[in-house]
Structure 1
Amino acid sequence: MATVTHRTVDVGGVEIFYREAGPPDAPVVLLPHGYPSSSFQYRALMPALADEWRLLAPDFPGFGYSDAPDGFDYSFRGYAELLEGFLAALNVDRFALYLFDYGSQAGFQLALKNPERIVALIIQNGDAYEETLGPKYDALKAYWTDPTDERRDELAQAVTFDGLREEVLGEVAPKVAARISPDLWQLAWPLMREHRDVMIGFFAEIADSVRRFPQYQAYLREHQPPTLIVWGPKDGYMPAESARAYLADVPDADLHLFEDGGHWLLETHLEEVVARIRPFLSRLRDASGSW
């Protein structure tokens, strides 16, 4: 198994922590993380692929070990701009992009800015179709429609230690949940606690991203990026219909549903996911081994 290194880089005056694995001259796979974790969520995926690819997983400000300065644009647009600066700082031009949870919203906005740089998409429980949003979105939709303090306080209960635990364990069966490391919430909460207002603020940011879903869909239709979809349908936010919806815009996408898996598929079905990713990425390389 390859070694994962832990580094920092200055991006626009913000110190960004990131994990890196793989040869420095190998094709790049960018791994933006989701909520409520950090680059930590990719700790097992990275060494599993690092023999042939260069994996880069930064922490967004407000998550993990990156700085979280006052005045930073804590929005998916701000995170997309940070990803762009991160890639520039590391001299990365073209890359495959992993889209998951919050990282999918920032990642799609990055793709809209630079579609020619995206070699391929790996989509894992990252939604882009409003009509397929799962029942766990109901409280968010109610807040977007009527953003009262009472509704905001109700949503804020999710940004607690117990709320993070519930967010991670989700709807999977106990035997599957037993594969999910408690480190995902145990380590995330102390780091996120001081940025709790930022996390709560993202509930409104999600509404803005949902309004951008038609733009994401248009990007897919126009550019037809090679796409692999790996999905855990036991997900109250993003059920199986959310995965299948992508086929309307990228009909040649390779779709795999892991029926007993949920939101944290890399915790519970890592070997099966890696077995789909490796041949998918291998087909995209040229004779020299580059993208």
Structure 2
Amino acid sequence: MLKRDTAVRHLFTVMAIIAISLAILATVAQAATPTHHRTVTVDGLDIFYREAGSNQSPTVLLLHGFPTSSQMFRNLIPALADQFHVVAPDYPGFGNSAMPSVEAFDYTFDHLANVMDRFVQQLGLSTYSLYVMDYGAPIGFRLAVKHPERVQALIVQNGNAYDEGLREFWKPFRAYWNERNEANAAPLKKFLNLAATKWQYTHGVRNAEAISPDNWIVDQYFQDRPGNKDIQLQLFYDYGSNPPEYPKWQAYFREYQPPTLVVWGKNDYIFPAEGAHPYKRDLKTIEFHLLDTGHFALEEDGDVIAGHMRRFLTKYVVQASN
């Protein structure tokens, strides 16, 4: 009996050493895969993007939300880059990409999607998995409808494609969509200040002290550039072009059935969990996770999301292509 107990303890010790070794190897691999910060010219515009991992690996295209940029993926990129080719662009008017004025550039979601389409073509990304969040959803789903053959999988994080997801938060936006005037614009301008930007990062989180203030400070720096608030207000107005597109996106889901991973901050007031559940109506291969956090779920549950992504993409993209 004593010998058996000793053998069992020895076995558990060996297993623990193996697990620790694998974790160390994964950490070393991630640290050895740098993130590159690059710029490419698309339609005469400088488009900044972050890129990591071998371009021989399956590509994950990360599409950011408002009011941020590829900055929101700064931790997710190295967490995936040892196994995947990860690309995260900034849209025109956001982050480190060019910021032409509203008079010089048509700030619509159709146009942003077209720029991202040409960006993808210029980088030679023939296939990819799409991570869509917030503004990334209407941009990414336009790409998917236009080029369904490119999309290997979807990762949806607080990005809407169903009417159920547009609740109280959107009432002043609907008024602006219906009648674009200064009176209806006034309440929307309040979303463009530092307090509102900070609120997006801290509302609904478990521990606000765990969220770095660098997030809202960096985002607000870009928003406070001369002319940028005009850009954001124009996009607030054009967001009204997205709900009429929902039936097209849902038809794409039903016809092409991309494997889909939903990782959704359930305490998000902007895109509440009611907008997450309808994806299950149209998609057959779907993995669904509601996370106890807010709008920018990566800030508090980045490791959890990265773990779900690695496992999901390994099963439905890496193994499926072998």
Task: With the length of structure 2 as denominator, give the TM-score of the two structures.
Answer: 0.85
Structure 2, gaps ≥5 residues long: 1-29
Please, which of 29, 34, 39 is the counterpart of residue 8 of structure 1?
Answer: 39
Question: In the TM superposition, what is the alpha-carbon distance from 1:211 to its structure 2 partner?
Answer: 1.5
Show the counterpart of 1:90: 123
How far apart, CA to CA, are the structure 2 residues paired with 1:239 and 1:190? Answer: 27
- Structure of greater Rg: 2
Question: In the TM superposition, what is the alpha-carbon distance from 1:191 to its structure 2 partner?
Answer: 1.5
Question: In the TM superposition, what is the alpha-carbon distance from 1:251 to its structure 2 partner?
Answer: 3.5
Superposition CA RMSD, Å: 1.6
Q: How is 1:231-270 mapped onto 2 (pairs within 5 angstroms)?
A: 231-258=264-291, 260-270=292-302
Q: How many residue pairs align between the two structures?
A: 287
**SS of residue paired to 1:167:** helix
Structure (1/2) with the larger helix percentage: 2
1:108 aligns with 2:141: yes
Show the counterpart of 2:153: 120
Deviation string, structure 1 residues 179-218 (Cα, Å, up to 9, x no partner): 2221221011122222110001111111111121111111
How far apart, CA to CA, are the structure 2 residues paired with 1:184 and 1:60? Answer: 18
Please, which of 233, 240, 245 is the counterpart of residue 207 of structure 1?
Answer: 240
How far apart, CA to CA, are the structure 1 residues paired with 2:67 and 2:318? Answer: 36
Please, which of 86, 99, 122 is the counterpart of residue 55 of structure 1?
Answer: 86
Question: In the TM superposition, what is the alpha-carbon distance from 1:58 to its structure 2 partner?
Answer: 0.5
Q: After the TM superposition, which of the residue ranges 145-154 and 9-18 deviates more from structure 2? A: 145-154
Show the counterpart of 1:37: 68
Question: In the TM superposition, what is the alpha-carbon distance from 1:290 to its structure 2 partner?
Answer: 5.6
Please, which of 187, 198, 201 is the counterpart of residue 231 of structure 2?
Answer: 198
Please, which of 203, 206, 229 is the counterpart of residue 262 of structure 2?
Answer: 229
Show the counterpart of 2:19: none
Distance 1:37 1:286, change over 3 A: closer
How far apart, CA to CA, are the structure 1 residues paired with 2:223 and 2:318? Answer: 41
Deviation string, structure 1 residues 100-143 (Cα, Å, up to 9, x no partner): 00011100111111111111100000011113323211221232
Structure 1, gaps ≥5 residues long: none
How far apart, CA to CA, are the structure 1 residues paired with 2:204 and 2:288? Answer: 21
Deviation string, structure 1 residues 157-199 (Cα, Å, up to 9, x no partner): 11112221222222334x2x22222122101112222211000
How far apart, CA to CA, are the structure 2 residues paired with 1:59 and 1:189? Answer: 15
Contact 1:26/1:290 (<8 A) preserved: no
How far apart, CA to CA, are the structure 2 residues paired with 1:6 and 1:212? Answer: 33
How far apart, CA to CA, are the structure 1 residues paired with 2:179 and 2:120? Answer: 38
Please, which of 43, 58, 61 is the counterpart of residue 27 of structure 1?
Answer: 58
**SS of residue paired to 2:263:** strand
Determine what percentage of the aligned residue pairs are the same residue: 39
Contact 2:158/2:295 (<8 A) preserved: yes
How far apart, CA to CA, are the structure 1 residues paired with 2:71 and 2:84? Answer: 18
